[in-house]
Structure 1
Amino acid sequence: MKLALDELTVFLAVVDSGSLTAAAEHLGQPVSTVSRLLARLEDKLHTTLLRRTTRRLDLTEEGRDFVQDARTVLESVRVAEDRVMTRRGQLSGPLRVDAVTPFMLHVLVPLMPGYHALHPQVELTLSSNEGYIDLLERRVDLAIRIGELKDSTLYSRLLGHSRVRLMASPAYLSRRGVPHQLADLARHELLGFSEPEILNLWPLRQADGKLLQIRPTLQASSGETLRQLALQGMGIICTSDFMSAVDVAEGRLVPVLPQLTEERLKPVHAVYYQHSTVSARIASMVDYLAGLMRAPETAWPMLAAR
Structure 2
Amino acid sequence: MKARSDELQLFVAVIERGSISAAAELLGQTPSAVSRSLARLEGKLDTTLINRTTRRMDLTEEGRYFFEQARLILDQMQNLEERLAARHQRPSGRLRINAAAPFMVHAIVPHVPEFRALYPDIQLELNSNDLIIDLLEQSTDVAIRIGVLADSSLHARSLGCSPLNILASPAYLARHGRPTRVQDLLEHSLLGFSHTETLNNWPLRHAEGDDWLIRPSLSASSGETIRQLALEGQGIACLSHFMTGEDIRRGDLQVLLGEANNGYRQPIHAVFYRNSQLALRIQCFLDFIQEKLAEYAD
TM-score using structure 2 length: 0.89
Q: Contact 1:191/1:219 (CA < 8 Å) preserved in 2?
A: yes
Shift of 1:15: 4.0
Partner of 2:255: 255
Q: Which moved more, 1:82-91 or 1:168-177?
A: 82-91
- Partner SS, residue 259 of structure 1: helix
Q: Which moved more, 1:148-157 or 1:218-227?
A: 148-157
Partner of 2:129: 129
Query: CA 1:257 to 1:74, structure 2 compared with 1: closer, same or farther past 3 Å?
Result: same
Q: Contact 2:189/2:234 (CA < 8 Å) preserved in 1?
A: yes
**Percent identity of equivalent pairs:** 50
Q: What letter matches 1:92 in structure 2?
A: S
List per-residue Cα deviations over 1:268-305 (Å, max 9, x = no partner): 11221124342111111112223445xx4xxxx2234x
Query: CA 1:185 to 1:131, structure 2 compared with 1: closer, same or farther past 3 Å?
Result: same
- Partner SS, residue 260 of structure 2: coil
TM-score using structure 1 length: 0.87
Gaps of 5+ in 1: none
Gaps of 5+ in 2: none
Partner of 2:199: 199
Q: Contact 1:79/1:277 (CA < 8 Å) preserved in 2?
A: no
1:110-149 matched pairs, under 5 angstroms: 110-149=110-149
Q: Which moved more, 1:51-60 or 1:111-120?
A: 51-60
Q: Contact 1:6/1:37 (CA < 8 Å) preserved in 2?
A: no
1:189-268 matched pairs, under 5 angstroms: 189-205=189-205, 207-209=207-209, 211-268=211-268
The root-mean-square deviation of aligned C-alpha atoms, in Å, is 2.5
Q: How far, CA to CA, are the matches of 1:121 and 1:291 in structure 2?
A: 21
Partner of 1:98: 98
Q: Contact 1:141/1:272 (CA < 8 Å) preserved in 2?
A: yes
Q: What letter matches 2:297 in structure 1?
A: L
1:254-293 matched pairs, under 5 angstroms: 254-292=254-292
Partner of 1:168: 168
Shift of 1:30: 5.1
Partner of 2:182: 182
Q: How far, CA to CA, are the matches of 2:226 and 2:71 in structure 1?
A: 39
1:34-53 matched pairs, under 5 angstroms: 34-53=34-53
- Partner SS, residue 165 of structure 1: strand
Q: How far, CA to CA, are the matches of 1:216 and 1:67 in structure 2?
A: 45
- Partner SS, residue 235 of structure 2: coil
List per-residue Cα deviations over 1:51-96 (Å, max 9, x = no partner): 3356654433322432332122111111111112112331222111
Q: Which moved more, 1:9-18 or 1:179-188?
A: 9-18
Q: How far, CA to CA, are the matches of 2:114 and 2:272 in structure 1?
A: 22
